[in-house]
């Protein structure tokens, strides 16, 4: 295995494990938060948080990827001076965008909270957080450009653990006064926690700065002007930012549409609202756990492929791209099938008390409805993971507009299908997972075709599809057998997950879906 590939698998593994831990903490965080501030407090919290997320996406989604790509290209050419100059320009740009976004949120708070006046203080306390995270993103992009994923992973852990240790206590203390103060406390805690994560990244940067400055300048290229670098950063980041905004905007449209379409299917408002809350608040939150692995693949692939492309090494681009796609399917297949088969077990493991509080809807228990939704929505994991990998490959070779267009096409299909399928009486909310499957399939097919073209690689049927699918089938048969033999409880769910993982990896090694040297880079890794 080449040194670059070892670095890639190491980065994917660090970010992947951290991502899953963070998503699990996020799921566990949401449960006591609801206990602390109640459903009314959650309503106030959710009035503020999506606006914060959207502004954050607009201001900082694409630039860190652009930074990591440009830094990795400079370092591949032995040009650390321009690499550091890219970081400084990006830091200035992200800081300005962050301040602007924070001011917009602060000034627009009365308007944004017009339908929920109690949410206005929440906008004020979370507004500075946009600036903090934008600056944090610049440091993360710089470290990722050096293919050092550990600082990003540690800062993500700080964010999630900090929510539990700081945001939850502030929410509880605020709730002693009122539910609105409880929501404000939770949002204030997030701002403090992001500041701590930024402080950590600044300390890492300070500690590594002397080491970076010692890198030899082996190219005669002159330092590029700030305006030139800024234009390059924007040219790369704008399509990525647009892509990142598409799904949040589609989710916003769904939030306005789905309840109305459920009522068109013959449900009452008392039945439609819980179904939408079930899908958006529980099912999607669980799906977000394995998708953290997809994000780890894409974050690691972009700088690795960019560096290979900068050196004009077609073989390195081809090898890195093949490796990334192989691992996308190796991760996506078992996560999708495993979550689908264990859908009811997982729901009862995390949300048994919450689901028990709902009355049956049209004669069907909410637990059974949720299990059906999760079983179908889980299948999107393998498609989403592959879309993320192909998008990262295309971004790495400078074709970042392609995944933007394909995702737009997929989301348009999703909106049309949600509008049509959810209104069918025999289908209602179960039309939403079907729309998601079509969305990612429509995005994946052209992405994959363009990856074959621009990464100059053949379609690896055995490595990408056949071997991971056979290993997943072995895992699935064992899980089905265990489900028939064991009752559903917390202990057996953990046991089924553990045995399923062991069987899958055993089968994957035997079938050569995973090779021994894939993990050789993990030995001796140092934590920064």
Encode pLDDT of 179-203 as tens digits.
889 989 999 999 999 999 999 999 9
- Write the CA distances from 68 to 140, 302, 434, 479, 522, integer angstroms: 8, 7, 35, 40, 22
On whether both 384 and 455 belong to a single domain, the answer is yes
On whether both 195 and 308 belong to a single domain, the answer is no
pLDDT band at 466 (very low <50, low <70, confident <90, very high): very high
In a domain, 226, yes or no: no
**Number of CB atoms found within 10 A of residue 203's CB:** 11
Predicted confidence at residue 262, as pLDDT, reads 87
Three-state DSSP at 219 gives coil
Average pLDDT over residues 168-175: 91
On whether both 209 and 253 belong to a single domain, the answer is no
**Which residue, chain included where needed, has tokens 């379609």?**
459
In a domain, 493, yes or no: no
Distance CA 155, CA 151 (A): 6
pTM: 0.75
Distance CA 422, CA 257 (A): 10
Q: Is residue 238 scored above 70 in pLDDT?
A: yes
In a domain, 223, yes or no: no
In a domain, 171, yes or no: yes
More confident of the two residues 277 and 160: 160
Domain boundary among 459, 478, 494: 459
Domain boundary among 438, 459, 480: 459
**Which residue, chain included where needed, has tokens 């064991």?**
486
In a domain, 229, yes or no: no
Domain boundary among 459, 484, 500: 459
Three-state DSSP at 364 gives strand
In a domain, 289, yes or no: yes
On whether both 196 and 243 belong to a single domain, the answer is no
On whether both 245 and 199 belong to a single domain, the answer is no
How many domains, in total, are found in the chain? 2
More confident of the two residues 229 and 202: 202
Q: Is residue 439 scored above 60 in pLDDT?
A: yes
pLDDT band at 527 (very low <50, low <70, confident <90, very high): very low
On whether both 199 and 245 belong to a single domain, the answer is no
- Nearest 5°: the CA angle 400, 295, 204 is 100
On whether both 294 and 409 belong to a single domain, the answer is yes
Predicted confidence at residue 227, as pLDDT, reads 85
On whether both 203 and 264 belong to a single domain, the answer is no
Average pLDDT over residues 23-50: 73
Structural domain span for residue 195: 1-215
On whether both 161 and 297 belong to a single domain, the answer is no
Predicted confidence at residue 218, as pLDDT, reads 76
With contact defined as beta carbons under 8 Å apart, do 191 and 129 qualify? yes
On whether both 254 and 181 belong to a single domain, the answer is no
Of 230, 187, 216, 244, the C-alpha closest to 54 is 244
On whether both 199 and 269 belong to a single domain, the answer is no
In a domain, 265, yes or no: yes
In a domain, 470, yes or no: no
* Phi, psi of 26, rounded to the nearest 5 degrees: -60, -40
On whether both 12 and 115 belong to a single domain, the answer is yes
Distance CA 341, CA 370 (A): 13
- Nearest 5°: the CA angle 291, 294, 298 is 145
Encode pLDDT of 316-372 as tens digits.
889 889 988 998 999 899 999 999 999 999 999 888 877 777 778 888 888 899 899
Percentage of the chain modeled with pLDDT above 90: 40
């Amino acid at each position: 295995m080449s040194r670059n590939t070892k670095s890639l698998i190491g980065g994917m593994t660090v970010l992947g494990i951290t991502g899953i831990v963070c998503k699990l903490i996020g799921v566990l965080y949401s449960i006591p938060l609801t206990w602390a501030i109640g459903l009314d407090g959650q309503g106030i919290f959710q009035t503020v948080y999506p606006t914060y997320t959207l502004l954050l996406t607009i201001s900082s989604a694409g630039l860190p990827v652009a930074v990591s790509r440009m830094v990795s290209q400079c370092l591949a050419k032995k040009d650390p001076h321009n690499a550091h100059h890219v970081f400084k320009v990006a830091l200035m740009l992200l800081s300005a965008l962050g301040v602007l976004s924070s001011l917009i949120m602060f000034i627009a708070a009365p308007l944004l909270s017009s339908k929920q006046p109690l949410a206005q203080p929440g906008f004020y306390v979370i507004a500075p957080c946009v600036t903090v995270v934008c600056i944090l993103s610049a440091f993360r992009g710089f470290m990722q450009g050096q293919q050092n994923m550990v600082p990003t992973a540690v800062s993500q852990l700080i964010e999630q653990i900090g929510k539990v240790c700081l945001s939850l206590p502030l929410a509880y203390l605020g709730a002693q006064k009122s539910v609105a103060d409880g929501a404000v406390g939770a949002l204030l805690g997030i701002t403090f926690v992001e500041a701590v994560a930024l402080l950590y990244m600044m300390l890492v940067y300070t500690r590594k700065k002397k080491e970076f400055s010692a890198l030899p300048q082996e190219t005669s290229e002159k330092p590029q002007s700030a305006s030139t670098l800024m234009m390059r950063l924007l040219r790369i980041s704008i399509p990525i930012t647009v892509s990142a905004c598409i799904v949040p905007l589609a989710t916003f449209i769904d939030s306005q549409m789905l309840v109305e379409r459920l009522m068109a299917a013959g449900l009452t408002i008392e039945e439609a609202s819980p179904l939408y809350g079930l899908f958006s608040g529980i099912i999607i939150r669980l799906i977000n756990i394995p998708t953290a692995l997809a994000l780890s693949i894409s974050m690691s692939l972009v700088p690795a492929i960019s560096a290979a492309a900068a050196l004009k090494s077609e073989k390195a681009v081809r090898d890195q791209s093949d490796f990334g796609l192989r691992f996308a399917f190796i991760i996506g297949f078992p996560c999708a099938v495993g979550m689908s088969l264990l859908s009811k077990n997982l729901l009862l493991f995390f949300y048994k008390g919450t689901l028990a509080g709902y009355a049956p809807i049209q004669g069907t228990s909410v637990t059974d409805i949720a299990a059906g939704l999760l079983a179908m929505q889980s299948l999107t994991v393998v498609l989403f993971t592959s879309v993320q990998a192909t998008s990262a490959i295309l971004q790495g070779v400078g074709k970042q507009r392609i995944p933007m267009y394909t995702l737009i096409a997929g989301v348009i299909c999703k909106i049309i299908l949600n509008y049509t399928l959810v209104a069918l009486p025999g289908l209602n909310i179960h039309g939403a997972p079907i729309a998601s499957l079509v969305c990612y399939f429509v995005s994946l097919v052209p992405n994959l075709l363009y990856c074959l073209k621009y990464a100059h690689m053949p379609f690896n049927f055995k490595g990408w599809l056949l071997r991971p699918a056979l290993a997943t089938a072995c895992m699935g048969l064992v899980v089905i057998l265990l489900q028939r033999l064991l009752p559903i409880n917390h202990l057996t769910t953990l046991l089924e997950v553990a045995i399923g993982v062991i069987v899958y990896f055993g089968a994957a090694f035997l079938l050569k879906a995973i090779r021994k040297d894939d993990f050789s880079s993990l030995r001796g890794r140092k934590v920064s």
